[in-house]
Chains A and B, each alone.
Chain A
Amino acid sequence: AQSVSQHNHHVILSEAASLELGCNYSYGGTVNLFWYVQYPGQHLQLLLKYFSGDPLVKGIKGFEAEFIKSKFSFNLRKPSVQWSDTAEYFCAVNVPNFGNEKLTFGTGTRLTIIP
């Protein structure tokens, strides 16, 4: 079974700092990858996704992620964070398997941005 590791449990940054959150998965075959975000008091929502094609994917609010197959990684980046990026971020993986679709989530990274 696949697993997802997010090694940064809590990250604290000042506004305008650059961000990189790590995500590694354990499955060796074809995968689909996701980053979800949970802002305080709001629903969990999709930030960005990778299914195929260009390994550098762009999402909402200036976030991007790069799929590096050789490293089993899908790290999330943002060049300059804002206070409003304070949230919890979850990486998730899905192994395409007809009729048996489910996501496996990482443990999450809590991001705190200091104004």
Chain B
Amino acid sequence: DGGITQSPKYLFRKEGQNVTLSCEQNLNHDAMYWYRQDPGQGLRLIYYSQIVNDFQKGDIAEGYSVSREKKESFPLTVTSAQKNPTAFYLCASSPRGRAGENIQYFGAGTRLSVL
């Protein structure tokens, strides 16, 4: 069954704690993305990766870190430096195509809350 798997579905973070959100895809897509979704603010790009071992900051990268050691995996760490981490986090992937034809496929999301 092809798709994007995000885990866990719900996550709770204590003050000063780093937490890691998992994103795995078996679609053989080259690019992967992390978004943060807040009510009334739409989706904001945190980080993205076009190829293995390379990634770029998005619009709101502060307080987050990522790695891309394998094509199918793109974990996101929410560090203690992120002062307002409560949000819904979405992972996406897209195949290599012509420039701009960036159709993204999304996972089910992880809801992160602060205790």
Contact = CB atoms under 8 A, between A and B. Distances in A.
Interface stretch (A13-21, A59-67, A76-84, A98-106): A98-106
Interface string B35-63: 10000111111001010000010100000
Contact of A102 (B40, B58, B98, B108): B58
B42 A103 contact: no
Interface in A21-40: 30-32, 34
Interface string A39-62: 000011110010100000000000
Interface residues of B, number: 27
A103 B102 contact: yes
A9 interface: yes
Contact of A107 (B31, B42, B99): B42
Q: What is the interface residue range for chain A against chain B?
A: 20 to 34
Interface in B81-103: 90, 92, 94, 98-103
Contacts of B45: 102-104
Contact of B33 (A9, A32, A102): A102
B106 interface: yes
B100 A51 contact: yes
Interface of A: 6, 9, 30-32, 34, 43-46, 49, 51, 90, 94-108
15 contacts: A6-B42, A44-B90, A46-B103, A51-B101, A94-B100, A94-B102, A98-B99, A101-B31, A101-B100, A104-B45, A105-B35, A105-B43, A105-B44, A107-B40, A107-B42
